[in-house]
Amino acid sequence: MLSRREFAHRAAGAALAAALPPAATAATAGAASFQLSVMLWTVFRELPFEQRLEKVAEAGYRSVELVGEFEHWSDDDFRRFLRKKHSLGMTFDATSGIRAGVADPAGPQALLAELESFFPVVEKLECPVVILLSGNRTEGVSRETQHRACIESLKRAADLAEKRNITLLLENIDPEENPRYYLTSVAEGFEIVRAVDHPRVKFLYDFYHEQIAEGNLIEKLEKNIELVGVVHVADVPGRHQPGSGEINYANIFHKLSELKFSGYAAMEFLPLGDPVGALRDARELAQQAGAQPASNSGL
């Protein structure tokens, strides 16, 4: 007999196949315009780091995003884990780990100091992208003031990042996960990045968080695609794999390719059932739904 988790996993996989538009289920000559990655904190957390990379590779991915797993690595750890990464043909496409928020009305000094210390570690990881958070709202300070602080902090941070050839991503988080977090709105996030107006500052569009916060995912994607650096993928409710909830990821992946998005779509979900199988299903959905019909492949 199937366990409840195994049944949920198989049901989600069937839902993904049913959700694919006709153009995506037919044979195609094209491919998705975007790349795929896995946010590593969500999977295989009980395993040693090298085995976690092996499991991600087994699911068909060649890139992962980190959230500070390297914080206590020794020099030997760095050398060993980078050898494993290279042997698997894998990249670290982005990492978080900066604690200072960009919305701090006291100014960007704490953020800039932390970035100065963090960038050499990022370079050691061979990772080109750093994820930044707004931080929480400050009591007694207007949203307008914190909005301006985000812009000014990111402008200053961008100057540092440009010298290191690093890109910064600003991320939204929904108010259910953190009721105190400042940047819960993707619309405001795009306003901030547009005002910063620097090629080293992009937006990390987290579909899971935005579905909970405000919804209307595709229209905001279409209007602001040039500002999107990375997208994060998980379904609502529960932060599980695509097909388990209310977000139509087949349409989203198809739209990403239609808009010629070339960045990473990172799976940041908590798998129901076998994690390798769930990651494979999500990868196949993304690749099939993102593939352009053969008739458009030369355009």
Secondary structure string (H, E, C) spanning the chain:
CCCHHHHHHHHHHHHHHHHCCHHHHCCCCCCCCCEEEEEHHHCCCCCCHHHHHHHHHHCCCCEEEECCCCCCCCHHHHHHHHHHHHHCCCEEEEECCCCCCCCCCCCCHHHHHHHHHHHHHHHHCCCCEEEEECCECCCCCCHHHHHHHHHHHHHHHHHHHHHHCCEEEEECCCCCCCCCECCCCHHHHHHHHHHHCCCCEEEEEEHHHHHHHCCCHHHHHHHHHHHEEEEEECECCCCECCCCCCCCHHHHHHHHHHCCCCCEEEECCCCCCCHHHHHHHHHHHHHHHHCCCHHHCCC
Q: What is the pLDDT of residue 30?
A: 74
Domain chopping of the chain, boundaries: 4-24+31-291
Q: Mean pLDDT, the chain, as a whole number?
A: 90
11-44 pLDDT tens trace: 444 444 444 444 333 334 479 999 999 999 999 9
Q: Which residues of 73-106 are buried (b: 16+ CB within 10 A; e: fewer)?
A: beeeeeeebeebbeebebbbbbbbbbebbbbbee
Residues 67 and 41 sit within 8 Å (Cβ to Cβ): yes
CATH topology for 4-24+31-291? TIM Barrel (3.20.20)
Q: What is the pTM of this model?
A: 0.88
Q: What is the pLDDT of residue 51?
A: 98
103-142 pLDDT tens trace: 999 999 999 999 999 999 999 999 999 999 999 999 999 9
195-246 pLDDT tens trace: 999 999 999 999 999 999 999 999 999 999 999 999 999 999 999 999 999 9
For residues 245 and 243, what is the distance between their CA atoms, to the nearest angstrom? 6
The pair of three-digit structure tokens given for residue 96, joined into one six-digit string: 């978080």
63-107 pLDDT tens trace: 999 999 999 999 999 999 999 999 999 999 999 999 999 999 999
Q: What is the pLDDT of residue 293?
A: 53
Is the pLDDT confidence value at 252 over 90?
A: yes
Q: What is the pLDDT of residue 292?
A: 61
154-178 pLDDT tens trace: 999 999 999 999 999 999 999 999 9
Largest CA distance in the chain: 59
For residues 27 and 294, what is the distance between their CA atoms, to the nearest angstrom? 8
